[in-house]
Structures are given as C-alpha cells and as structure tokens.
Amino acid sequence: MKKNLFSTIICTVLLTSVLVVPAANAAKVDYSSLSSKELAKKVLSLSDTQAKSQQQSLKSAIANLSDEEFDAFVHNLVMQNNGTDEELSDKLKPLGVELETKKNSKIGTTAFQAADINLEVTSAKRTGQSYYRLIASWDPEDNEFYPATYDLLSIEWDPTVGQYYDYNVGSTKYVTARDGSERKNGIYLFNVHDYQLDFGSYAAVYVSKKKNATLDFGARYVHTYETRTWGTNFEANFSYAKTGPTGGLSFKLTPTKTEKSWQVWKDEALEW
C-alpha cells in the first residue's frame, strides 16, 4: 500500500513538472521579428500587467530597433493610441523609453475641400542613447483635391538649450527634408507631399542637451491649396523669421497668386 502511494506521488510530481515547465516557457515571447508598426500595436494592446510580464522581451525588441525603426515605432504609438498620453508614457518607462506627447483636437481648415490635419508633437529617448528625438506626426482626415505647392512642416526648438544632432523622415513618398541650413539656429524644414493619397507621416529632429534647462520645441504645419485650377506640385517659397515661439528661428510662407494657405502650430516642453 505504501509503495503504491509513493509511486502515485512521484507520478503526480513528474506530471506537474511536465505541465508547468512548458507553461513557463510559453510566457517568454520573442517580439524581435515584428515590424515597428506591429510592435507598436502589440504594446498598445497589452494591459499594464501583461506588459510587465513581457517587460524583458519587449525591452529587448525595442532596444534592437534601428533609429529609423524606432522613430516609426514612436509615430505609430502616438497616432494609434486611444488612451491618455500619461497612460502611454507610464507603460513605456519600464520598457526603456521616455516619451512625452501632446496632441491637438481636430483642426478645421479655412479652405474648401482641403484636408483636416491631426498634428502631434512628441519627444522620445531610448535608454543608452544620449540624444532626444523631437517628432512631428500628422494624419489627414481627408485627401487634398486641390493641391498647390507642397505643404511645409518645420520642427523648431530653442538652440541655446538643445543642439542639432541628426534628422529622419518617414516614407519619402510623403515627406522629404527641405532645408537644414539653419539647424544651428533651431529649425529644420520638411516638404509634405499632400498631393499623395493618405499622406500622413512623420519627421524627426534629434537634439542633444547643451545645458540643464527646459527645452521648448514645436512643429508648424502650413497647408497650401489652389483656389482656381489644379495646381502643379513644386516646393513652396518661404523666408526665415528671426524669432519663433521657441526662441530660435521660424519661417513664413510666400504663397503664389492662385493659392491660399492655413497653418497650425503645436508646442511642447522637454524636461531633460
């Protein structure tokens, strides 16, 4: 009887071990094969408890992203986030990402049949990197049926606090670098190809800290549209203004005779 009871206990222990070990291994998920968009979607879909249980796997996947992939990851996070900015920031901290973002409400235009633009500005930094990313993301509510010159986007920052390091853009189908000649004075300009369907994308400027002070930064989006005929797509004329909202340079658009424009500005402050 004792021998049978002992055998039963041993079998039970062995069976439990077989069942428990695979379950523990199943909890470790490899996210390294996911694209930036897929990884962002996965992070947003996880509860705080689930994200905590997968912290090391997620942190490793994020750390292994290239600079371009990480910018795309941040862009997709902020544009797809249905929660609050604070909740997103808190979820990312244990994953090695500092993130602050500020979104606008839907922006109505003064142009007939022109697109509404949802604009967000975000600062982000990965653990182990010395520079911060100032990212401007936009998403059109509609397509532009009367495009004129390319839309212009600037990323502007206080050059006495943050020093230019590098820049990056999303798909060059939708956005290209326009002018970086005044990057030492706190501004970088980008062309937005609003004649393309669904031209939502992002642009980023990387800055390093020059001194321990709050970095004021922002993005200015200027949309142009034709009032008479179908426009030809080419670069808009602009001039630099001496002082912008951040303390660095800003810019002013010079529209053609048959086009009009509207603009929106969004700002944020980065605590180093």
Q: Which pLDDT belongs to residue 146? A: 67
pTM: 0.79
Question: Can you give the pLDDT of all 272 residues of the chain as single tens digits?
Answer: 545 544 554 444 444 444 444 434 445 788 999 999 999 999 999 998 999 999 999 999 999 999 999 999 999 999 999 999 999 999 999 999 999 987 644 333 333 334 577 889 999 999 999 999 999 999 887 666 666 788 899 999 999 999 999 999 999 999 999 999 999 999 999 999 988 878 899 999 999 999 999 999 999 998 887 766 555 567 888 889 887 889 899 988 877 766 667 777 777 888 77
Asked if residue 138 lies in contact with residue 123, where contact means CB atoms within 8 angstroms, the answer is no
Of 270, 265, 69, whose CA–CA distance to 153 is shortest? Answer: 265
Which residue from 175, 183, 148, 182 is spatially nearest to 257, judged by alpha carbons?
A: 148
DSSP codes of every residue in the chain: -HHHHHHHHHHHHHHHHHHHHHHHHHT----TTS-HHHHHHHHHHS-HHHHHHTHHHHHHHHHTS-HHHHHHHHHHHHHH--S-HHHHHHHHGGGTEEEEEEEPPPBPPSSTTPPPEEEEEEEEEETT-S-EEEEEEEEESS--SSB-SPEEEEEEE-TTTEEEEEEEES-TTTEEEEE-TTGGGTEEEEEE-TTSTT--EEEEEEEEESSSS-EEEEEEEEEEEESSSPPPP-PPEEEEES--TTSS-EEEEE--TTEEEEEEEEEEEE--
pLDDT of residue 254: 78
Alpha-carbon gap, residue 64 to 92, rounded angstroms: 15
- Greatest CA separation found in the chain? 102
What domains sit in the chain, N to C, each tagged with a CATH number? 95-270 (2.60.40)
